[in-house]
Structure 1
Amino acid sequence: MIGDTPAPSPVSPAASAPVPAASYAVEGHGLVKTFGSFRAVDGIDIAVPAGAIYGVLGPNGAGKTTLLRTLLGIIDPDEGHRTLLGEGQPLRMARQVGYLPEERGLYPSMKAFEAIAFMGALRGLPLKEGRVRARALLEGHGMGASADKPIRQLSKGMAQTVQLFGTIIHEPRLIVLDEPFSGLDAINQEKLEALIREQARQGVTILFSTHVIAHADRLCERIAIVAGGRIRFEGTPGQARDQLRSQVRLRTRVSDGGWRRALPADTVAEDGAWHFALPDEGIEPLLRALLDGQAGIESLSIERPGLHDAFVAIAGAAAAKQMQDAPAPEEDA
């Protein structure tokens, strides 16, 4: 948002068009999960299209982890129902799912390739086949030299990559990642984003949670913005941005004249420029008034709102601040 431009008008929580497809990898309807008097998930409806990269975006404590675990069948909802890959009992589909929880855990003395194969075996992949695939994965991603190293000798980023490989080694149809970028430096975050895109190109559905808006904006075809245990918005990142009007920044050589009557009512003067929301009728009528009035246009820019601006409008400034104040990822060592 620019300068002191007036705040956008309130946004409807249900501001998105429905997905024009009948095939969903994950669905939840009326999901409620309470812990004592706390409603971690408060009446959520969600549908993740098969083959999509889908992000659940919200601050820590918003209910993202509880929602993912409920959808996976790790915990049962108090109300509502869910289906996973078409199955009403999600745990029956466990071997077709790869799940990376927020809490990481590997045996420190186990060799990297053995750790990957072991995780695959837990999902039904024969250990011998898992070892072959594990070495291929490590070599294919430039980590072949680390295949026989124990986990304790790997950097945090490499160890997390090993656990991620263990999540996908059995070639699941659905990959669920809970805060997968936490603890990774910028280089390893980029590698993880590339791996997510690679899996999506193979037709795998990716569902992940994050409190970092940039990851959702770069990766996701659809997002759910969650705050206070509820979904405040569901749709594409573009649809979220479209909830706000673009902002115009105008500089003129002449500071006054009849042309000023053509400026929108929300115009604010700041730093030698005029700031206002793009009018519904577009910029052309104003341009004509400025030219006819000889205002002397020095510069004019139209800035489309970012996903952060949309998040603030949809979830509220407090939720956005909570996400900004979240601890920064530790540098990979």
Structure 2
Amino acid sequence: MHDVDIVGIGKRYGGRSVLRDMAFSLRPGELFGFVGGNGAGKTTTMRIVLGVLAPDAGEVRWHGEPITFESRRRIGYMPEERGLYPKMGVLDQLSHLAELHGLPRRKARAASRYWAGRLGLSERLGDEVGHLSLGNQQRVQLAAALVHDPRLLVLDEPFSGLDPTAVDVMTEALREKAAEGVPVIFSSHQLDLVERICDRVGIISGGRMEACGTIGELRGETAVRLVVDAPDAPADWAGGLDGVRVTRHEGTRTHLELAAGADDQAVLRAALDTGPVHEFAREQPPLSELYRGVVEQRTASTGETAAPATATAPLRSAA
């Protein structure tokens, strides 16, 4: 059973449609990556899940029922824009936010200390948030989303601006919640990170969910690609093989694409005929390439401009 179902959501601002029949589900204990270009509709979708915005069509269901005010108190939300009180101390701020979600004061203080420690902020509990580095402010913001023991996490660009150590700390915290059965949905422009940690990924473009699934499912029936390192092979060693196309050379490594039905063992035999083979491996397209393929396909069918993407620092802001 799904924890959350987003069912046919539509949203318009004036004459502009920003969400069109948006539909997907969140499963218990999964990390769900939500990726898309500028203005794609990610943040609008998240705000509708939270009840900050009302959809013009469709609905959000939690465990099969419409989300209510009470159920929304069990959601942990981290906005892309920092929503913290800059002159308030870390511990006082986290405790205050936990109490707003219904925790008694003593439990709120204990939970605040736990999550501050879990996210590497134990030495900063008395510091005003405004005096912290941007990375530590981001950690406080995540702690604020976690402090009331939420049953759903909705995070908008939680890894933005973090160094690798902070990314690892936050990733482990999210995995900890997922291991408890809490679904986690987060948007990110760091597609390599999404590919590495997420169970499933949703690709949104033009207000629609264009593709959704595991990385393996998104790769689907893509062409088989091989990389072969045969240091003694001439440059054209694979040119005469049936159903095999050379895509590029990198030193002694040759990158190949095989048509449906082409025999990869024939490729290996041809490489061995030239001498030693130091590498023979199948290449898998990264999420950044899958993203571009999905968006370009949609662009070709609609005539809209595609949003750019790279694996590390692609699409700078969310819709």
Q: Same fold (TM over 0.5)?
A: yes
- Mapped pair 1:106 → 2:74: no
CA contact (8 A) 2:119 2:139 kept: no
Partner residue of 2:117 out of 134, 139, 143: 139
C-alpha displacement of 1:217: 0.7
After superposition, the C-alpha distances for 1:236-257 in whole angstroms (9 at most, x for unaligned) are 0222233422322445635678
CA distance, structure 2, for counterparts of residue 93 and residue 137 of structure 1: 22
SS in 2 for 1:319: coil
Structure-2 change in CA distance of 1:265 and 1:302 (3 Å): closer
1:88 to 44, 53, 66: 66
Deviating more after overlay: 76-85 vs 164-173:
76-85
Cα distance in 2 between the residues matched to 1:187 and 1:218: 15
* Alpha-carbon distance in structure 2 between the residues aligned to 1:261 and 1:130: 70
Which of these residues, 23, 35, 44, is aligned with residue 66 of structure 1? 44
Compare 79-88 and 229-238 and name the one that shifted more: 79-88
Q: Name the counterpart of 1:176.
A: 154
Deviates more, 1:58-67 or 1:151-160: 151-160
Q: 5+ unaligned residues in a row in structure 2: which ranges?
A: 298-305
**Contact 1:264–1:279 (8 Å) recurs in 2:** yes
Could you tell me how far apart the structure 1 residues matched to 2:162 and 2:248 are? 42
1:285 to 266, 289, 292: 266
Q: Return the alpha-carbon distance in structure 2 between the equivalents of residues 254 and 37 of structure 1.
A: 60
CA distance in structure 1 between the aligned counterparts of 2:118 and 2:181, rounded to whole angstroms: 20
* CA–CA separation in structure 1 for the residues paired with 2:42 and 2:248: 41
Letter of the structure 2 residue corresponding to residue 201 of structure 1: A
Is the CA contact (8 Å cut-off) linking 2:190 and 2:314 kept in structure 1?
no
Q: What is the match of residue 156 of structure 1?
A: 134
Residues 78 and 284 (structure 1), Cα distance of their counterparts in 2 relative to 1, 3 Å cut: same
TM-score when normalising by structure 1: 0.81
Q: How does 1:278-317 map to 2 (within 5 A)?
A: 278-281=258-261, 282-288=263-269, 294-296=273-275, 298=277, 300-316=280-296
5+ residue gaps in structure 1? Answer: 1-22, 329-333
Match of 1:50 among 22, 25, 28: 28
CA distance in 2, matches of 1:255, 1:321: 32
Amino acid of the structure 2 residue aligned with 1:310: L
1:264 corresponds to: 243
Give secondary structure in 1 for the equivalent of 2:86. Answer: coil
AA matched with 2:172: A
Amino acid at match of 1:302: R
Two-structure CA RMSD over aligned residues (Å): 2.7
What is the rounded CA distance, in whole Å, between the counterparts of 1:193 and 1:276 in structure 2?
35
Code of the residue aligned with 1:39 in structure 2: it is S
Do the aligned partners of 2:244 and 2:257 also contact (CA within 8 Å) in 1?
A: no
C-alpha contact (below 8 Å) 1:253/1:298 kept by paired residues:
no
In structure 1, C-alpha distance between the alignment counterparts of 2:175 and 2:126, rounded to whole Å: 27
Residue of 199, 221, 236 corresponding to 2:199: 221
**Residue 39 of structure 1: aligned partner:** 17
Q: 1:167 to 1:280 in 2, by over 3 A?
A: same
Of 248-257 and 304-313, more deviation after overlay is shown by: 248-257
Residue identity matched to 2:284: R
